[in-house]
Structure 1
């Protein structure tokens, strides 16, 4: 389900109903109310002139209340109430910040399954909802950013990975070592336990000024990737859980038009029990 599309449709429908009521339907209701009031005055005058029971009954019938055709429909009332709220949600979600939930372990240990994250929607430029067309160019992704993007093979699905290769970079991955432009990316083991016997070994990797944790499984040789050059307007993405991540090593590059935003914070964790706010943190 494309929530952005549903939100746009809801804003459009409620806004259109509110607009039609403001410029057309409300005026017609006012005219009906005026005619009803005029009829009540005539009936009241007739009742006073006759002074009889028949005239009194006519006056009572004329004062039963506003005709149904002159009352505000419930649909208009709901549209007027919900439109401002839906519009604010659409603007904030499309141009400021959008929440996401982490569904897999491909970004462990940086992000765990069940983490709820916030994504900055204007870091890389303002984009239209649904179409993702860029309106204003603000900045470009930097190596080491944790980025949400639309999966190139299925744009209806959002992925989150770390930016490894920028346009023009040469990327190689062999023997669990990442190479960028012919140079090995520095990394060191954090846990000094016997690495040959562990499924997950915690390391720290340095991408320029960004140092972040990664997992490697040294019992498995893992994927090997010959050197590739990142095309212009594209990015090479990898998960921090290097041996358990479906990323650019398998399906290729992410085009610039698929970018959603930069993940910057974890605000809640929920694994099916009670929500936890003890893991609130900034994403490195």
Structure 2
């Protein structure tokens, strides 16, 4: 698409490099199509910005004679093919500003529509096109919480690919465009669950791999008070640590998969106990080392979150005596940890082993396995599960086993002591998977002490 824009800019008498400059390139597109510059201001409005951006793009390609609906649809949905095609096509030339009266008069046979109808069709087309792009190809997300720090930071804006794992078709098709589950301002539902479609996913480029950073729907939104449909549950982002059929455990905060230690996230954080000479911590040092969630217990003793690299750096400061990972002891039961059963005395740092369900895998059901798999059987795979003493019935039939219909995954945040993840609520079903996080395109640091809040080093940065 970049090559296509470059060539079309040149055909309109502009320098090709102008197409590469964010915002400025859009301003030039407005000049080429004869639209006012202030439309740029509308781009910052959520929802409206997407429609305006597509409108600007459609006006731009109309200026090169692409006035028919099928041509505009091709330019929007298959721009990576048609923009360079038009750019190098000798028959495609700049015909003038599509918004000008002269253009409208000259090509009135192709543009026989009133201004109101033209804008109405443009808005409808833009909404449909944007919805298709967001559903089937790529969507923008923002990191709201520190559960993935320091791999992903609060204020990171990233693109998530729907193509890598295969786009999931909408399961709740009747919904307000660009709103996920709740309408802004009113707080009411942004969807109607009177129509529900079965789960179906288009073919993807790859399977979910251990280590991938994945966006998925929060499984616990199936419960009270929300009872949301699968595709309208809250979006979460974590790292996949376990795939279907894997046996996973945590030993002293280290993940083991199939008895082998998993690779540690390069920028993952956890809690450390810090002993210092005094109670003074330089604010600049806190910012530079990205120390967070600082708790002070005595004049010398602290607990805080940081990366392993920051911990090594902190040890080099003259007023720091010790920096020690705060790892929970083995055998100490935490009732908040899955499967919330005192028989399994697990916590966030010492957990498992646990087998992650795989499609077609048959598990024996008894008092030891039911705590792990009852939710998947009843909630995620929509069976009626009843337990009466030692008797187990599924959909009215007595049984002692169950064969899973879906694959499941184990997701964890890189900020291990500040993440609500599979350790708390268990498995993520395959029908909850949204897409793969690709790269950070913008990053805004609201806590920065300087006037410049943009983290320039993170722009267009790939996700490890």
TM tier, shorter chain? 0.5 to 0.7
Contact 1:201/1:217, CA 8 A, preserved across alignment: no
Distance 1:271 1:167, change over 3 A: same
Q: Which residue of 2 aligns with 1:167?
A: 244
State the structure with more CA Rg: 1
What SS does the aligned partner of 1:236 have? strand
What SS does the aligned partner of 2:148 have? coil
Counterpart CA distance in 1 for 2:138 and 2:208 is 17
The one of 120, 138, 148 equivalent to 1:79 is 120
Contact 2:445/2:455, CA 8 A, preserved across alignment: no
Counterpart CA distance in 2 for 1:94 and 1:217 is 45
Distance 1:264 1:72, change over 3 A: closer
Counterpart CA distance in 2 for 1:220 and 1:173 is 11
Tell me the C-alpha RMSD between the 2 structures.
3.1
Distance 1:170 1:117, change over 3 A: same
Q: Which residue of 2 aligns with 1:23?
A: none
Count of aligned pairs? 201
The one of 312, 326, 333 equivalent to 1:219 is 326
What displacement does 1:244 show? Answer: 0.9
What SS does the aligned partner of 2:151 have? coil
More strand by share: 1
Q: Which residue of 2 aligns with 1:134?
A: 201
Counterpart CA distance in 1 for 2:453 and 2:133 is 24
Q: Which residue of 1 aligns with 2:354?
A: 228
What displacement does 1:226 show? Answer: 1.7
Counterpart CA distance in 1 for 2:411 and 2:325 is 21
Distance 1:86 1:144, change over 3 A: same
Contact 1:148/1:261, CA 8 A, preserved across alignment: yes
What displacement does 1:116 show? Answer: 0.5
Counterpart CA distance in 2 for 1:186 and 1:138 is 23
Contact 1:117/1:264, CA 8 A, preserved across alignment: yes
Higher relative contact order (CA 8 A, sep 6+): 1
Can you list the C-alpha shifts for 1:21-69, whole angstroms capped at 9, x where unaligned? Answer: xxxxxxxxxxxxxxxxxxxxxxxxxxxxxxxxxxxxxxxxxxxxxxxxx
Counterpart CA distance in 1 for 2:266 and 2:238 is 21
Distance 1:277 1:109, change over 3 A: closer
Contact 1:106/1:246, CA 8 A, preserved across alignment: yes
Distance 1:138 1:92, change over 3 A: same
What SS does the aligned partner of 1:173 have? strand
- Indicate yes or no: 2:441 matched with 1:267: yes
- Indicate the larger mover: 176-185 or 132-141: 132-141
- Indicate yes or no: 2:141 matched with 1:100: yes
Can you list the C-alpha shifts for 1:52-108, whole angstroms capped at 9, x where unaligned? Answer: xxxxxxxxxxxxxxxxxxx9695x454312122222211221111100000100000
What displacement does 1:127 show? Answer: 2.1
What displacement does 1:271 show? Answer: 3.9
The one of 207, 211, 219 equivalent to 1:144 is 211
The unaligned stretches of length 5 or more in structure 2 are 1-45, 51-112, 173-198, 222-229, 275-302, 310-322, 329-346, 359-406
TM-score w.r.t. length of structure 1 = 0.62
What SS does the aligned partner of 2:241 have? strand
Distance 1:186 1:85, change over 3 A: closer
Counterpart CA distance in 2 for 1:138 and 1:77 is 38
Contact 2:158/2:442, CA 8 A, preserved across alignment: yes
What SS does the aligned partner of 2:325 have? coil
Counterpart CA distance in 2 for 1:117 and 1:78 is 30
TM-score w.r.t. length of structure 2 = 0.39
What displacement does 1:275 show? Answer: 5.9
What displacement does 1:185 show? Answer: 2.7
Q: Which residue of 2 aligns with 1:210?
A: none
The unaligned stretches of length 5 or more in structure 1 are 8-70, 205-215
